[in-house]
């Protein structure tokens, strides 16, 4: 017994001399583990193989972060993830005037003259032409910047496969959802947007992050008329359309859920 004790003592002294900091860390770790897990030899096994254990834990953390990023990308930016890098869709070389010339007189099928928005800004029945990356008053938006006042749309496969304006131009064409007078502007973040106010001044529709606008301020537009190309101008992490519907309440434009105006 004395020989074994002396051998352990010599080995301990040697470890202290060769790796004093490592020895101290191992000792503290062993004491803590012994207190937390009062099972014989567990603390010694963990200390002995701590390098492999830490590498394993680190690998699981990295994999977990990668999976979380993938999930968030699918939830918030599916168009960017599956349809390209998020660059502006106007990169094929056509100018706004050239695109507009190709769409002169075009009215998207299904739209009728109306002072109340009734259809999706990407056309189609209901939501067949769009996917939603952020809903109206979506709780997830609080993580980014407070209250989300509209709906963020990306085109669905149905839009990409069947929409005549897209097939004609190769661009993600956005349509006015009601008749009215338009205003084109750029917000403080650099986002191109168009507002359309109906003829009796009771409703406003807003189209944000446009790459190209076909509309000038003061222009009269019709429901179903192309007003621009979907983009990612301003504070946008991917190509999408932020669409709002507002109602006039005693002179104040108050946002409402656009879903109630898409049929």
pLDDT tens-digit readout, 109-132: 999 999 999 999 999 999 999 999
Nearest residue to 240 via CA among 48, 17, 55, 87: 87
Q: Decide if pLDDT at 82 tops 90.
A: no
Q: Are 13 and 132 found together in one domain?
A: no
Rounded CA separation 13/19 (Å): 10
- Is residue 198 a part of any domain in this protein? yes
Q: Which residue has the higher pLDDT, 188 or 144?
A: 188
Q: What pLDDT does 84 receive? A: 37
Domain end: 43, 73, 103, which one? 73
Q: Decide if pLDDT at 148 tops 60.
A: yes
Q: What is the percentage of the chain residues whose pLDDT exceeds 70?
A: 63
- Is residue 80 a part of any domain in this protein? no
Q: Are 22 and 65 found together in one domain?
A: yes
Q: Which residue has the higher pLDDT, 244 or 135?
A: 244
User: In this structure, which long-range contacts are made by residues 211-217, counting pairs with CB atoms below 8 Å and at least 24 apart in sequence?
Assistant: 211/88, 211/89, 211/90, 211/239, 212/90, 212/96, 212/99, 213/96, 213/184, 214/96, 214/99, 214/100, 214/103, 215/182, 215/184, 216/182, 216/184, 217/182, 217/183, 217/184, 217/185
Q: Are 165 and 132 found together in one domain?
A: yes
Q: Are 131 and 63 found together in one domain?
A: no
- Is residue 82 a part of any domain in this protein? no
Q: What pLDDT does 226 receive? A: 96
Q: Are 95 and 68 found together in one domain?
A: no
- Is residue 79 a part of any domain in this protein? no
Structural element, H or E, at residue 161: helix 157-162
Nearest residue to 224 via CA among 180, 168, 255: 180
**Choice among 5-9, 45-49, 104-108 with the minimum mean pLDDT:** 5-9
Q: Are 129 and 210 found together in one domain?
A: yes
DSSP secondary structure of 178-204: S-EEEEEEE-TTS-EEEEEE-TTSSEE
Q: Are 228 and 114 found together in one domain?
A: yes
Domain of 140 in residue numbering reads as: 88-261
Domain end: 33, 48, 73, which one? 73
Band the pLDDT of 163: cuts 50, 70, 90.
Answer: very high
- Is residue 81 a part of any domain in this protein? no
Nearest residue to 122 via CA among 16, 227, 18: 227
* Average pLDDT of span 217-238: 94
Single pTM value for the model: 0.66
Q: Are 96 and 65 found together in one domain?
A: no
Band the pLDDT of 54: cuts 50, 70, 90.
Answer: low
Q: Are 43 and 154 found together in one domain?
A: no
Domain end: 19, 46, 73, which one? 73
Q: What is the percentage of the chain residues whose pLDDT exceeds 90?
A: 51
Q: What pLDDT does 94 receive? A: 47
**In 10 A of CB 108, how many CB atoms?**
25
Q: What pLDDT does 7 receive? A: 43
Q: Are 64 and 103 found together in one domain?
A: no
Q: Are 188 and 96 found together in one domain?
A: yes
Structural domains in the chain (count): 2
Q: What pLDDT does 231 receive? A: 95
Q: Which residue has the higher pLDDT, 139 or 252?
A: 252
Q: Which residue has the tokens 């017994």?
A: 1
- Is residue 63 a part of any domain in this protein? yes
Q: Are 125 and 234 found together in one domain?
A: yes
CA angle in degrees (0–180, nearest 5) for 154-225-217: 100
- Is residue 78 a part of any domain in this protein? no
Q: Decide if pLDDT at 40 tops 90.
A: no
What is the number of alpha carbons within 13 Å of residue 71 lying toward its C-beta?
Answer: 6
- Is residue 95 a part of any domain in this protein? yes
- Spell out the residues 6+ positions from residue 211 whose beta carbon is closer than 8 angstroms to its own: 88, 89, 90, 192, 228, 229, 230, 231, 232, 233, 239
């Amino acid at each position: 017994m004395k020989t074994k004790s002396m051998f352990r003592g010599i080995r301990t002294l040697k470890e202290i001399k060769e790796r004093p900091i490592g020895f101290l860390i191992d000792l503290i770790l062993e004491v803590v583990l012994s207190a937390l897990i009062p099972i014989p030899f567990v603390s010694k096994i963990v200390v002995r193989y701590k390098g492999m254990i830490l590498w394993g834990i680190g690998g699981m953390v990295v994999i977990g972060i990668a999976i979380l990023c993938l999930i968030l990308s699918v939830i918030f930016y599916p168009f960017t993830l599956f349809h390209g890098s998020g660059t502006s869709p106007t990169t094929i070389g056509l100018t706004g005037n050239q695109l507009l010339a190709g769409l002169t007189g075009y009215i998207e099928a299904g739209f009728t003259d109306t002072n109340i928005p009734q259809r999706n800004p990407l056309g189609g029945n209901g939501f067949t032409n769009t996917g939603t990356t952020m809903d109206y008053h979506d709780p997830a938006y609080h993580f980014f910047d407070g209250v989300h006042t509209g709906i963020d749309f990306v085109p669905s496969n149905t839009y990409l496969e069947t929409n005549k304006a897209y097939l004609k131009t190769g661009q993600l064409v956005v349509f006015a959802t009601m008749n009215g007078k338009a205003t084109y502007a750029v917000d403080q973040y650099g986002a191109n947007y168009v507002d359309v106010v109906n003829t009796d001044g009771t409703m406003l529709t807003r189209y944000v992050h446009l790459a190209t606008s076909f509309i000038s301020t003061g222009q009269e537009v019709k429901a179903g008329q192309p007003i621009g190309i979907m983009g990612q101008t301003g504070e946008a992490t991917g190509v999408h359309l932020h669409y709002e519907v507002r109602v006039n309440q005693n002179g104040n434009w108050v946002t409402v859920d656009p879903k109630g105006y898409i049929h």
